[in-house]
Amino acid sequence: AQSVAQPEDQVNVAEGNPLTVKCTYSVSGNPYLFWYVQYPNRGLQFLLKYITGDNLVKGSYGFEAEFNKSQTSFHLKKPSALVSDSALYFCAVRDRSSSNTGKLIFGQGTTLQVKP
Amino acid sequence: DTAVSQTPKYLVTQMGNDKSIKCEQNLGHDTMYWYKQDSKKFLKIMFSYNNKELIINETVPNRFSPKSPDKAHLNLHINSLELGDSAVYFCASSQVTRAGGSTDTQYFGPGTRLTVL
């Protein structure tokens, strides 16, 4: 069964420090991987995705993610956190070997708290 | 220039009522989705339409009926509302091409917070 796991409910980091939000996946074929961010009382905003090619993907707002096939991980990173990065982050996967339905499976979300 | 819009933003209603949520996208995408986000923030797909054709129908009660009058619209009608239907409902759209590659990024609307009393 396809699944995505975000092992941390919350990540706390001081402003200016690097941050990592973890994600691991399980799919039957090669995955499409996505990160979305949800600010309070807002919809989900697309941050970045991995389809193929370079394992390091750069996205919006200075975020990047590293695809690691051997560890089946796609951790979200940022070199220097901002207070405004505080939000709920979702990792999602789509199994590209499935029929072309576009169905995304989301992790349970990780709340990022950046303190001044 | 709102890409994916939903109305209403908030919906408060009594148990047993019937209500609809509307979604429109102006991105020219061929596929639209409905997701439900529960009180624990967990997101789960409910339905997906591709070119007005239903392609995903997860285990959702029959009280929920999506309707797609055209590619740019996907409405969600809910009959006989129950307390457990209280959630935030998100509409999304993407371009899912069937030949060659697909960018397949889904763009989400702002959500509709449904409260059933």
Task: Note down the domain range covering A53.
Answer: 3-115
DSSP per residue, chain A: --EEE---SEEEEETTS-EEE--EEE-SSPEEEEEEEE-TTS-EEEEEEE-SS-SEEE-GGG-EEEEETTTTEEEEEESS--GGG-EEEEEEEEETTS-S----EE---EEEEEE-
CATH superfamily of this structure's domain B4-111: Immunoglobulins (2.60.40.10)
A106·B43 Cβ contact <8 A: yes
CB-based contact B104:B95 (threshold 8 Å): yes
Give pLDDT tens digits for B49-107: 888 888 877 878 899 999 999 989 999 999 999 999 999 999 999 887 655 445 578 99
Mutate to test the interface with B, among A30, A38, A48 (most CBs of B within 10 A): A38
Greater model confidence, A41 or A64 = A64
Chains A, B: CB contacts within 8 A come to 61
B5 touches chain A (CB under 8 A): no
Q: Which residues pair with A92 in a beta bridge?
A: A34, A106
Residue B40, chain A, CB below 8 Å: the answer is yes
Residue A99 has pLDDT above 70, yes or no: no
The H-or-E segment that residue B48 falls in is strand B43-50
Chain segment B2-13, per-residue pLDDT in tens? 699 999 999 999
- CA-nearest of A5, A23, A34, A6 to A95 is A34
CATH of the domain at A89: 2.60.40.10
Q: Which tokens sit at A8?
A: 């941390």
Amino acid (one-letter) located at A107: G
Residues of A in contact with B3 (CB under 8 A): none
| Mean per-residue pLDDT, A85-109 | 82
Looking up tokens 């009180």 gives B39
C-beta separation of A5 from A24 below 8 A: yes
Domain count along chain A = 1
Q: Of the ranges A58-67, B92-101, B108-117, which one carries the lowest mean pLDDT score?
A: B92-101
Which among B40, B90, B102 has CB closest to A43?
B90
* Gyration radius of chain B over CA positions: 14
Cross-chain residue pair A108–B108, CB shorter than 8 Å? no
**Residues of chain A neighbouring B45 (CB-CB closer than 8 A):** 103-105
Contact list, A46 vs chain B (CB under 8 Å): 105-108
Judge whether B73 is closer than 8 Å to chain A, CB to CB.
no
In angstroms, how far is CA B69 from the centroid of its own chain?
A: 14
* pLDDT category of residue A97 using cuts at 50, 70 and 90: low
The pLDDT, as a whole number, for residue B13 is: 97
Name the residue among B4, B98, B110 with its Cβ closest to that of A100.
Answer: B98
